[in-house]
Structure formats: C-alpha cells, structure tokens
Amino acid sequence: MVTASHNPKDDNGYKVYWQNGAQIISPHDKKIQSYILNNLEPLESSWNVDEIYSSSYYEDPREDIMQLYYQDLKETVLYPEVNRDTTLKFTYTAMHGVGYEYMSAAFEAANLKPFITVEEQKLPDPEFPTVKFPNPEEGKSALNLSIKLANESNSSIILANDPDADRLACAMKTKSGDWHVFSGNELGALLGWWMIHTYQVLHPDVDMSDAYMLASTVSSKILASMAKKKGFNFEETLTGFKWMGNKAIELMEENKDILFAYEEAIGFMCGSKVLDKDGISAGVRVAELAAYLETINLTLLEKLQEIYQEYGHHVSDNSYWICHDSDYPTGILERKYIITGVRDLTTGYDNTKPDNKATLPISKSSQMITFTFKNGLVTTLRTSGTEPKIKYYNELCGAPGEDLTKLKSTLKEMVSAIVTEFLQPEINGLIAREE
C-alpha cells in the first residue's frame, strides 16, 4: 500500500503485509529491500499493464473482504439499540483521504445514525488543499473545519481519520463550549476500558487470564495498570503496529484472546480481525462508547477521569523536535533527577534485566533510549523512522487519589529539565514543536 498517510503530500511511504496478515518484520523487510536495490531498472515488460489483468495472480478481493469486515463489526456491537437511540451528533472528517465510504458503512453496520461530514475534506485529494499536515494527531490546527462545522450543527463529538484511515482522532465539546482534543493515550485509556467492558459482557463466565492487551513502549502504561487490577495480561512492544500485529499472532497461536492494542500516535487495534491499526473500527467503538455513556449521564471526558481515579492519573507530555541535521545527540549530560533504569535499544543494554540485556528487539540503525526515574517518571527519546524528527515521550503515574496538580507540576518541571539537558545543548538547526 502506497500512501502519504498523515505526512505532507510529498512524503509518500508504503506498507507491506506478510501472509499472516501483519506488517513485515525482519528478515522479510531486509530481503525485500535487497530485491529492490538489485532491480532498480524496471523490465521492459513491466510497462505493459494489460498483462496484469490476465495474470493468474490478479484478484480483487475487496467486496468479499468488506462484507466480512462489516459482518464482524456488526456482530461485536454491544448495544445496537443504544446506538440507534442516542441523541449524540457526530461530525466526521476523512481529511482528504479514503475513510468516508468506509466509516459511513461502519456506522450503518453498528446501527448508528449517519454522521455530519466535512464536505471540503470528504473525498480523496493528494494535494491536501485545506491542511498543511493531514494528520489529526496535530490537534486543533488540523481540525479547524471540523470544529467549525460541529459548532454550526450542534454536534458534540468529532471523529477524524488521517488520509489512509488507519489513525483516529477524537474531540469533544466541553460544558464551557471549548473543544477537548483527546490525546492518543487518553483514547487508549477509553478504548481499553470499553474493550474490557465488551469482553466481559460477551463472555460473562470467562476469566481474564487468557486475555491480552498490547501497547508500544512509548505509550502510556495505563493498560498495564488496568491489567494488574482486572486480571488480564499486558504486553509491551517496540513502536509500530508491525510489532504489535506479529506479537498478537504469536499469542493467538497460543489460544490467547487479543482484546486491544494501541500506540500513542492515535493508532488503535480493536480486536484481532485486523492486525494493524484501524481508524474505522476504532471510530465506531468510540461512538459506541459515547452512546453508552450517555445512558448513564457521563461524557467521554468524565469517563476518562473515572478511569484515572480508579487506576491512577497517568499524565503524559510528549512532543518532538524537527531535525534537519543527522548528527543527533549521543551523549547524556549531568542529571538533576535520579535515574534508576536505562534501556538502550540501539545497543541492547537494559540495566533492569538479567545480565543487563534488553528483552525487546534491538536495532543498530535506529535510536531509542528509555530512562526510568526514581520518582516513577518514564522518558523515552527516539528518532522517527519516517520523518526528520527526534521524538520524546514522558509519563508520570500517580497513585489513585494522588493530587493531580502536584503530579502535573512535577512532570512539567522534569520534562523541561530533560529537554534542556538531554537535547538542546547538542542539537543544531532544530525547530521546537510545541504541542
């Protein structure tokens, strides 16, 4: 699949899937790369596209796959009558991508009323004329047209896909009239709670010991906190759904149930039928959750606060630096706070594991280092695999009932120190990106 996804229009990338339904990992990626490098000159016969349609390999399974996809979605809708009767209005944007047709059919399968559509962004357009970055993860700057339409139509919830519809953003109108754009970690907490609720309602006599949830290593540890209380299992993987998809397959081969997987960059895998992030099913699940919460007089934001009250506030501060200089920092400067754990997935060092060896896969071609501080802060610095960015992720988890203001203050102070001491002195030509 070739797509600019959530990137600027000039930055096309591609996804390749293996026969197991998940994105490729080593050794397949390296073998494909070697074939490309050894065959840079196309064969003369490659230009004869008519031969595609007479090939024994040519098959278009789209209609069959779509019927199976929507049938599965329909069968896993928990409260179809609640969806039908909700008074909530949803505004949706496809962000100049392919999502509109699929989200429309998904809402119908879930017994939800049609959503209100941002017409200017409804159809695929590779120029992305209304947004510089067609990435709903950017927050309000990417949702301006959605917010305007939602205000005009008295809609209280916005759902947004990126152009290839594998990511989902959500915003909710607050009682003050402002819009809260949920972070990927906040949506991960909400969807995680909903997938547990769904599983327990559909399987009332089954304990949670064979159930699993997954998240990438730079995502919130909220699912790990839930797992300790609810009795299911939590697995951490490297960033990217190629790792979560393949880990899910591993577990499914052991007859485990995969309930949910997510990454903080608004990627969500609800269930195990699609072994990748899927913005369509995630959008329907958020709409379902919102409709259910309406019946008990709660909003998405209020439910999120309930989750944090039960499992402890997990406050995050994530951002990135745009870097046009490939000489990113390699040294660690003097520290203000005590570090108890260091994991370097470039070299394979992890002082929290036996023999100081990391258990997650390592890569000499990418940089990712995680620091665990004495007060519980977990910080990860990594280079992006698709963009010229150095990303940083910080999460501080408080005990249930701990003062949130104090927790946020500590997080802010520590993030400031981390950026100042770990990044700024050694990086030239960077542009700070404030979230």
**Could you tell me the pLDDT band of residue 401, with boundaries at 50, 70 and 90?**
confident
Q: Does residue 276 sit in the same domain as residue 396?
A: no
Buried/exposed code over 50-74 (b: 16+ C-beta within 10 A; e: otherwise): eeeeeeeeeeeeeeeeeeebbeebe
Look at 160 and 26; give whichever has higher pLDDT.
Answer: 160
For residue 375, pLDDT over 70 is answered with yes
Is the same domain home to 195 and 327?
A: no
| pLDDT exceeds cutoff 70 at 325 | no
CATH code at position 343: 3.30.310
Of 296, 311, 326, the residue at which a domain comes to its end is 311
Distance CA 143, CA 9 (A): 18
Please report whether residue 368 resides in a domain: yes
> Distance between CA 127 and CA 130 in Å, rounded?
9
278 and 400 co-located in one domain: no
What are φ and ψ of residue 388, in 5° steps? -80, 65
- Tell me the Ramachandran region of residue 329: left when phi exceeds 0, alpha when psi lies from -120 to 50, beta otherwise: beta
Could you tell me if 363 and 421 lie in one domain? yes
Q: Which helix (H) or strand (E) holds 418?
A: helix 404-418
- The H or E element containing residue 259 is strand 257-263
Q: Up-side HSE of residue 124: CA atoms within 13 Å toward CB?
A: 11
Q: Are 96 and 125 in contact (CB under 8 A)?
A: yes
Query: Is residue 277 located within the same domain as residue 377?
Result: no
Please check whether residues 158 and 174 belong to one and the same domain: yes
Place of tokens 């896969």: 361
Phi-psi region of 383 (alpha: psi -120 to 50; beta: other; left: phi over 0): beta
Does 242 map to a domain? no
> Per the confidence metrics, is the pTM higher than 0.85?
no
Q: Are residues 64 and 124 in the same domain?
A: yes
In the chain, what percentage of residues exceed pLDDT 90?
65
What is the model's pLDDT at position 270? 98
Residues 329 and 423 reside in one and the same domain: yes
pLDDT value, residue 224: 97
Summarize pLDDT for 258-276 with one digit per residue, the tens.
999 999 999 999 999 999 9
Question: Based on the structure, what is the number of domains in the chain?
Answer: 2
Q: Catalytic residue among 5, 155, 216, 272, which?
A: 5
Query: Which structural domain, as residue segments, surrounds residue 416?
Result: 314-433
Are residue 325 and residue 307 in the same domain, yes or no? no
279 vs 43, more confident: 279
Work out the burial of residue 19: count CB atoms within 10 Å of its CB; fewer than 13 is exposed, 13-18 middle, 19 or more buried. Answer: exposed
Q: Are residues 185 and 319 in the same domain?
A: no
Select from 262, 287, 311 the last residue of a domain: 311
Does residue 128 form part of some domain?
yes
Active site residue 5: yes
- Could you tell me if residue 221 is inside a domain? no
Residues 287 and 423 in one domain: no
Q: What is the mean pLDDT of the chain?
A: 89
Residues 15 and 88 in one domain: yes
Q: Which residue in 191, 363, 205 sits closest to 281, CA to CA? A: 191
Last residue of a domain, one of 311, 341, 358: 311
Residue 248 covered by a domain: no
| Burial of 191 per CB tally in 10 Å (0-12, 13-18, 19+) | buried
